[in-house]
Amino acid sequence: MRVIWPILSGLLSVQLAFGLLAGYVEGWSLGDSVYFTYVTGLTIGFGDLTPGHFVSRLSALIIGLSGILFTALVAAVGVRALQEANDDPPR
């Protein structure tokens, strides 16, 4: 269970790095870049910030795919925690 935190933080770091790259290419502010990363990583995609350049579109694709992986890992950790809680005998 301990090995999951470096993986999750690594995924978040990758998402943020690609979000900042997209923001730099598009000329967005730091806040807009982080917001774009959050919205794209959760695959919400409001559409208020849309990448226009190839590099930023590729970054959005990487952010979205890693966001799906991040969500799946968080769900797996939750399921595992519930399984372990079920396996413990009542006290």
How far is CA 30 from each of CA 4, 5, 15, 36, 47, rounded to the nearest angstrom? 28, 25, 14, 10, 18
Please give the domain boundaries of the chain with CATH numbers for all domains.
4-81 (1.10.287.70)
**Confidence at residue 18, expressed as pLDDT on a 0 to 100 scale:** 97
**Confidence at residue 51, expressed as pLDDT on a 0 to 100 scale:** 95
**Confidence at residue 84, expressed as pLDDT on a 0 to 100 scale:** 87
**Confidence at residue 38, expressed as pLDDT on a 0 to 100 scale:** 95
Q: Which 3 state secondary structure label does DSSP give 45?
A: coil
Mean pLDDT (10-residue bins), the chain, 91 residues: 84 96 97 96 91 96 95 92 81 65
